[in-house]
Amino acid sequence: MADDPVADDGAPAVTVGEVDTSSPPFLAACRGEPVPYTPVWFMRQAGRSLPEYRAQRGPGSILDAVRDPALAAELTLQPLRRYEVDAAVLFSDIVVPLTGFGVDVAPGTGPVVEKPFREEADLDRLQVTPVPFVVETVRLLTRELRVPLIGFAGGPFTLASYLVEGGPSQGYALTKTLMWSEPRLWAALVGRLAEIALSSLRDQVKAGVAAVQIFESWGGALSPADYRRHVLPALRAVLDGLAPLGVPRVVFGVGAGELLSSFAEAGADVVGVDWRVPLDVARARVGPGVALQGNLDPTACLAPWSVLAGEARGVLARAARARVGEGGHVFNLGHGVLPNTDPDQLARLAELVHTETAQS
């Protein structure tokens, strides 16, 4: 990380304007404090887009790599050797705390569940169980890292959808039908998933993660009214439970433009925005006092550099127009890095974000 301009433990803190240079820019932006430049990281920055990742991972379930702390730590660090990113994100998977339920991750498919959730008795298979290998990975990383480490968990709807559908889904028909038809069982399910996520995130924070993100990736499949009634209380339970720990709490969903205000209302400090909602529009939906993260279309990284640069500048301009650049914007993609992304594009992108937002 010789090329990392963010933190150098040996250097004295220099005051730039009002910026507290002892605070990592990513955390400052999450808290709405002044930053020396807009911080940036990329969802799925570790992963299949990196040749060194493909070389190390080999075939088999992602869970094999997650269960090996030395390997998981190495995979977490790989993107930091390429990109000037302002945060590392733990190499793990949202289904890891659910493995007692019999959840695996099939290469090329995603989470698969042998015996999907159907009835109250299935709650017995969903218990809060510590995941020592994740804690160990966090410990290994916090010794190495010069930027904040982001831990994460799945959101209640997203996790529930995998358990009920038995895997990825287009329309979430089984999940929604359970939610509508058996609201008590549903509430018990998402309540249990909230406990599991909270316990996992607490363990991650205690071991050293500096911020957490809740991937409510598929929540946008619900109408806002349904999300508020059937899921938001569980999301709030996770966020409330984390509050005493004092780490920034990010909530992100894709296609969740109509849920941004619900995420903020539930207690998110930072709301992740996919590329469909312009940041100034997102600002109007979440109100003041919440930071925004995003929101470049990840597909733009496949286009020529001039196109990518133009799209990135568009995001930065929207952020400035929304005054979210004043400490309240973390640059990111609007969804994960696509597997066929050229890493050099992301390296240039991180540099562009830093250079063009630097406060002189």
- Positions touching a second copy (CB under 8 A) are 171-173, 176-177, 180-181, 220, 222-226, 255, 257-258, 275-278, 281, 297-300, 302-304, 307, 311, 314, 338, 340
Among residues 341, 272, 329, which one has the least CA distance to residue 301? Answer: 341
Min separation Cβ 102 and a second copy, Å: 26
Measured from the CB atom, the residue of 80 and 333 that comes closer to a second copy is 333
Q: Is 93 a catalytic residue?
A: yes
Is the Cα torsion angle 74, 79, 84, 87 positive or negative in sign?
A: negative
Q: How far is CA 25 from the centre of its chain?
A: 17
Q: How many helices (H) and strands (E) are present in the chain, helices listed first?
A: 14, 9
Min separation Cβ 89 and a second copy, Å: 21
Q: Is 321 a catalytic residue?
A: no
Min separation Cβ 221 and a second copy, Å: 8
List of residues 6+ apart from 208 with CB closer than 8 A: 138, 139, 141, 142, 149
Tokens of residue 336, six digits: 């994960």
Measured from the CB atom, the residue of 60 and 339 that comes closer to a second copy is 339
Out of 53, 162, 172, 227, the active site residue is 162
Out of 86, 93, 122, 269, the active site residue is 93
CA–CA dist 338, 50 (Å, integer): 11
Using alpha carbons, list the distances in angstroms from residue 147 to 7, 8, 81, 214. 7, 10, 12, 20
Tokens 């909530």 correspond to 251
CA–CA dist 220, 260 (Å, integer): 10
Measured from the CB atom, the residue of 191 and 314 that comes closer to a second copy is 314
Measured from the CB atom, the residue of 44 and 249 that comes closer to a second copy is 44
CA–CA dist 291, 31 (Å, integer): 7
* Longest CA span, the chain: 61
Backbone angles phi and psi of 107, in degrees to 5 = -55, 130
CA–CA dist 339, 92 (Å, integer): 17
Q: Is 172 a catalytic residue?
A: no
Min separation Cβ 280 and a second copy, Å: 11
Measured from the CB atom, the residue of 5 and 255 that comes closer to a second copy is 255
Using alpha carbons, list the distances in angstroms from residue 183 to 67, 159, 186. 35, 17, 5
Q: Are 87 and 26 in contact (CB under 8 A)?
A: yes
Q: Is 162 a catalytic residue?
A: yes
Min separation Cβ 323 and a second copy, Å: 19
Q: Are 333 and 83 in contact (CB under 8 A)?
A: no
Min separation Cβ 307 and a second copy, Å: 4
Min separation Cβ 16 and a second copy, Å: 32
CA–CA dist 256, 222 (Å, integer): 9
Measured from the CB atom, the residue of 15 and 181 that comes closer to a second copy is 181
Measured from the CB atom, the residue of 180 and 323 that comes closer to a second copy is 180
Q: How far is CA 141 from the centre of its chain?
A: 17
Out of 4, 20, 31, 48, the active site residue is 48
Q: Which residues are catalytic?
A: 44, 48, 57, 93, 162
